[in-house]
Amino acid sequence: MELSETIKKQTDRAGKTYAFTEKVNPRLPAQHWFQQTPEGLTLFIVFYTQACRWSQCLGCNLPSKMSQSHVPFQDIMSQVDFIFEYMMTEEEKQQVHKIIISNNGSILDEDTFSTTAIVYFIAKMNMECPGVTTLTIETRAEYADIEELEILARVLKEGRISTQLELAIGFEAFDDHIRNNVFLKGLTLKAFEQFAEQIAKHDFKLKTYFMVKPIPGMSELEAIEDITSAIDYLDQLSKELGLEINLHLNPTYVAFGTPLETAFNGGTYEPPLLESLRQIILKAKGKNISVFAGLNDEGLAVPGGSIHRENNQELVDLMEQFNSTQDFDLLN
């Protein structure tokens, strides 16, 4: 079966109703934005490629920004050229300290994002952005080929300063039943731990994405308890493996074209309160992990389904300050 047919089959099986984005210039990235992290100015890039082949996760419509059909590596390399020629000023090139690359799926899936294009991106980054200390690559665990990662790590060391590789993986929910039987993530704890062990052996860093209140029927308290369990687990794993771990917390928004939208319209789901996110972040104080609060719905939420509500801008501002400082006292 062609990969494009697999993607459509997986999308339909998961009850997704969104369409893919086809009538765009494949030589331009899908999205990009800047944010502040503890590493400093960070550039987040979403490449336009063939969509995630998994495409089942209950509340996810990120593949809708991608193509159902294959995007050749030549077009992806043209996107790389565009990034360094037009997306950053010369001042930003000098100031950026971290770059995160995504294709709303798995950068390390060679069928959707070629290794040639990754190496080309790193080579351009080494030349154009001399201060980058961390390159983060988003992927599913099953596409992390250690031999390939070792090559990428060597290329990253050839810049003006040595750049560390960070692998970012969607974990979404800590509870096994919620993660795999309801949210349909398809990630076992065993697979994650094997992934983490390999990363630790090669002195890479690990970033884990978790969603606050990712499914219908989950209370605010249950959402807090689930991520609290994740914090304790990651803290212990970090200590055991000597692994640097970042917990990226995304308060769930209602993504259009997903079963979560159906639940929202039927009155059986409401996005989490930012107060719950604040309480969760404070649970990580004194732990052996860093935390980042994701506050961007990337324009993919249905009307009224965003995490942002009236009268919460002050808390949003404090969380953005926390993201760059890791100062827990800001949120007390």
d(CA 127, CA 8): 39
CA–CA–CA angle 7, 11, 17 (5° rounding)? 135
**Distance (Å, rounded) from C-alpha 194 to C-alpha 210?**
19
pLDDT digits (tens, 9 = 90+) for 163-216: 999 999 999 999 999 999 999 999 999 999 999 999 999 999 999 999 999 999
User: How far is the C-alpha of 199 from the C-alpha of 234, rounded, in Å?
Assistant: 14
User: What are the φ and ψ backbone dihedral angles of 150, each rounded to 5 degrees?
Assistant: -65, -40
Rounded to whole angstroms, how far apart are CA atoms 171 and 156? 26
59 within 8 A of 255, measured Cβ to Cβ: yes
**Which residue in the block uniquely carries the two structure tokens 């300050």?**
321
290 beta partners: 246
pLDDT at position 308: 83
CA distance 284 to 289: 7
Residue 292's DSSP bridge partners are: 248
At position 62, the amino acid (one-letter code) is: L
Distance CA 325, CA 308 (A): 22
Backbone phi and psi for residue 206, each to the nearest 5 degrees, phi listed first:
-125, 135
pLDDT band at 307 (very low <50, low <70, confident <90, very high): confident
Pair of tokens at residue 204: 């890479």
CATH 3.20.20.70 is right for the domain spanning 3-331: yes
Parallel/antiparallel/unpaired status of strands 205-212 and 164-172: parallel
Q: Is-contact 257 18, C-beta < 8 A?
A: yes
| Whether the Cβ atoms of residue 125 and residue 101 lie closer than 8 Å to each other | no
**Element housing 208 (H / E):** strand 205-212
255: tokens are 């993504």
- What is the structure's pLDDT at 53? 96
DSSP class of 128: H
DSSP β-ladder status, 31-37 and 40-46: antiparallel
Question: Are the beta carbons of 122 and 113 closer than 8 angstroms?
Answer: no
Give the tens place of pLDDT for each residue, 5-61.
999 999 999 999 999 999 999 999 999 999 999 999 999 999 999 999 999 999 999
pLDDT confidence of residue 309: 80
Q: What mean pLDDT is reported for the chain?
A: 96
Closest CA to 138 of 206, 200, 203, 87: 206
